[in-house]
């Protein structure tokens, strides 16, 4: 359990909160590049860390992310005209460039000095891979750009989707470092999902429902090792990296692409689940890519034109009790992503952690909360840069491996859990 | 060993060397040691304050225990420990611990 004050500390990410300040130390996914597909395309509303913003791509291909509301009288710039290298408020024609600088006030007599003094809060927006990244902190402390492998492999090797999740970021993230639920909740998917099935590792997953957890501290976060019995007195290890504050990877299965997530707070009761799949050494096949688009694996089938899953809390996630009874799906909800999301959302917008009962399989979660708390307090009280800001910390991989019982997973896996460009992932 | 609750009521039990201070309490029905997770450093419901005289001999908390004491325990003191992580030894004969008014 957590005390109430600590639960609030970890779950509140608005401006001025300790965890909000922590999040504002990092580059973070702000949107998918596909949301701003061409120059002068319609602007998009973006809410992150409880701040309402508008994103646009100007006539020169520059990306901008700034306060949603016009400095004049507060109208939403989402209605704006994206034209001539700027976004123009349709109310009185005030125009802003991608840095938030007001560049025209056409309703007034020539007074360019007035313009100069009008600037909206704006953040950098940078395309790396399929994602547009932003940094919402102090410009003087802006770290180098992120180095996560999924965003840096060639385009044909990677795919990223996102979905709106109607709960606080922390309970969504905690699912990402909790390996013991896989054997239960996703047992159907291990057998049938085109992006999961067929791996030898799945058998170990299914045959040993009581994994033993070992958690190792790293410079940027944690490695959570889940150990299950394999044959001949060996252990099957699934190693899940967490890079602070909100990046997790799922251990691979066979030669399937490797997947993972970013859990990005929209506000305290909603988050974005960014879900990626990539293969370190080969292009994704057409079949794999189609399966991702269709919502298999860690992806979701969304309502067309939106990032809201088609199965959602308003339709009880289209639960199929017959499929549940037949064992086709363990919970009756289809798809790995929505199996997770349905249960995480069912806890309520912010789960009351004073009432939970953790068990040894939750040691990764206990450790991660502690690391978040310590980092947020060290930042607040002493200005200490938190783990995970340094791009070197981003160069981690998940791994699945069978080891002799005597070997420690971290000693045996140093190379496997480190990004080595052009080298295949370690997987069973 | 003696457990004292927040009202001052004392429970003295015979503990065996090797078992945990939590296990000895549960076995003897000492109220206030909940031990939900069964001694696996996960729940913090077996929190105790170690008697000053014994604090040094008992020693400090381990890593995971440290995390839980920090985040889950309502009033943490210097002598706070999770009793599931204290092994009974000959050396601890006569150990006294105080049970906090409430467990998480």
Task: Report residue A63: phi and psi, to 5°.
Answer: -95, 140
Nearest CA among A83, A81, A80, A77 for reference residue A39: A83
Placement of tokens 């978040």 in the chain: A372
Partner-chain contact B42 A359, CB within 8 Å: yes
Does residue B37 sit at the A interface (CB-CB below 8 Å)? yes
Residue B38, H or E segment: none
pLDDT on residue A354: 87
Collapse the DSSP code of B36 into the 3-class scheme (helix H, G, I; strand E, B; otherwise coil) and give the result: coil
Partner-chain contact A366 B36, CB within 8 Å: no
Strand order in the sheet with B80-82: B10-12, B2-4, B96-98, B47-50, B80-82
Return the CATH superfamily for domain B2-98: Beta-grasp domain (3.10.20.30)
pLDDT on residue B103: 80
Q: How far apart are CA A57 and CA A313, in angstroms?
A: 33
Q: Which residues of chain A have pLDDT under 50?
A: none
* Report field, pTM of the whole predicted structure over 0.95: no
**Within 10 Å of residue B10's Cβ, how many Cβ atoms?**
11
Q: What is the pLDDT of residues A325-381, one digit of tens each?
A: 999 999 999 999 999 999 999 999 999 998 888 888 888 998 999 999 999 999 999
Q: Taking 90 as the threshold, does the pLDDT of residue B72 lie above it?
A: no
Q: How far apart are CA B25 and CA B3, in angstroms?
A: 8
Partner-chain contact B36 A357, CB within 8 Å: yes
Q: Would you list the domain boundaries of chain A? A: 27-141, 149-413
What residue of A is the nearest CA neighbor of B74? A3
Q: What is the pLDDT of residues A163-199, one digit of tens each?
A: 999 999 999 999 999 888 988 999 998 889 999 999 9
pLDDT on residue A280: 97
Quote the ipTM score: 0.73
pLDDT on residue A109: 81
Residues 353-372 of A with CB under 8 A from B: 354, 357-360, 362-363, 366-367, 369-370
pLDDT band at B39 (very low <50, low <70, confident <90, very high): confident
pLDDT on residue B64: 85
CATH class assigned to A149-413:
alpha beta
Q: What is the 3-state secondary structure (H, E, C) of A186-244?
A: CHHHHHHCCCCCCCHHHHHHHHCCCCEEEEEECCCEEEEEEEEECCCCEEEEEEEEEEC
Strand pairing class (A63-67; A81-82) = unpaired
From residue A369, give the alpha-carbon distance in Å to each of A7, A17, A22, B30. Answer: 9, 16, 13, 31
Residues 48-67 of B with CB under 8 A from A: 64, 67
Nearest CA among A9, A7, A81 for reference residue A42: A81
Partner-chain contact A360 B44, CB within 8 Å: no
- The answer to whether residues A159 and A285 touch, using CB atoms and an 8 Å cutoff, is no
**Residues of chain B positioned with their CB less than 8 A from the CB of A359:** 37, 40, 42-43
CATH architecture of A27-141: 3-layer Sandwich (2.102)
């Amino acid at each position: 359990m957590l005390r109430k004050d600590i639960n609030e500390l970890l779950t509140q990410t608005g401006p001025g909160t300790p965890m909000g300040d922590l999040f504002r130390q990092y580059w973070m996914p702000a949107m998918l590049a596909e949301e701003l597909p061409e120059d002068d395309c319609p602007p998009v509303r973006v809410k992150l860390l409880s701040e309402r913003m508008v994103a646009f791509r100007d006539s020169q291909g520059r990306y901008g992310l700034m306060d949603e509301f016009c400095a004049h009288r507060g109208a939403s710039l989402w209605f704006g005209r994206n034209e001539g290298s700027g976004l123009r408020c349709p109310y009185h024609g005030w125009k802003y460039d991608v840095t938030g600088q007001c560049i025209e006030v056409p309703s007034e007599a020539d007074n360019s000095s007035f313009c100069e003094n009008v600037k909206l809060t704006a953040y950098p927006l940078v395309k790396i891979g399929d994602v547009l990244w932003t940094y919402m902190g102090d410009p003087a402390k802006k770290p180098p750009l992120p180095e996560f492998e999924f965003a840096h492999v060639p385009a044909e090797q990677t795919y990223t989707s996102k979905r709106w999740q109607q709960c606080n970021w922390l309970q969504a993230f905690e699912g990402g470092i909790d390996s013991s639920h896989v054997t239960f909740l996703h047992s159907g998917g291990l057998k049938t999902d085109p992006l999961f099935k067929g791996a030898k590792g799945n058998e170990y997953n299914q045959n040993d429902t009581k994994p033993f957890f070992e958690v190792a501290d790293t410079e940027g976060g944690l490695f959570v090792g889940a150990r299950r019995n394999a044959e001949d007195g060996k252990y099957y290890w699934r190693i899940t990296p967490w890079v602070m504050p909100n990046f997790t990877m799922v251990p691979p299965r066979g030669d399937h692409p490797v997947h993972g997530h970013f859990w990005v707070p929209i506000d305290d009761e909603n988050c974005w689940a960014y879900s990626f799949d990539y293969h370190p050494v080969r292009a994704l096949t057409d079949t794999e890519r189609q399966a991702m688009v269709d919502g298999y694996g860690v992806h979701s089938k969304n309502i067309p034109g939106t990032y809201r899953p088609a199965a959602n809390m308003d339709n009880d996630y289209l639960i199929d009790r017959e499929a549940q009874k037949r064992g086709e799906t363990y919970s009756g909800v289809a798809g790995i992503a929505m199996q997770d999301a349905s249960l995480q959302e069912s806890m309520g917008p912010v789960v009351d952690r004073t009432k939970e009962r953790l068990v040894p399989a939750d040691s990764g979660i206990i450790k991660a909360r502690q690391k978040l708390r310590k980092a947020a307090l060290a930042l607040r009280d002493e200005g200490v840069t938190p783990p995970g800001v340094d791009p070197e910390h981003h160069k981690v991989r998940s791994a699945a491996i069978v080891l002799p019982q005597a070997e420690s997973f971290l000693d045996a896996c140093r190379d496997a859990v480190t990004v080595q460009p052009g080298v295949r992932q370690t997987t069973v | 060993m003696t457990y004292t609750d927040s009202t001052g009521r004392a429970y003295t039990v015979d503990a065996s060397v090797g078992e945990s201070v939590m296990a000895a309490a549960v076995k003897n029905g000492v109220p206030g040691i909940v031990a939900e997770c069964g001694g696996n450093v996960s729940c913090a419901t077996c929190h105790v304050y170690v008697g000053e005289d014994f604090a040094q001999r008992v020693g400090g908390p381990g890593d995971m225990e440290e995390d839980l004491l920090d985040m889950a325990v309502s009033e943490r003191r210097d002598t706070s420990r999770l009793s599931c992580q204290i092994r009974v030894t000959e050396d601890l004969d006569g150990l006294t611990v105080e049970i906090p008014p409430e467990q998480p």
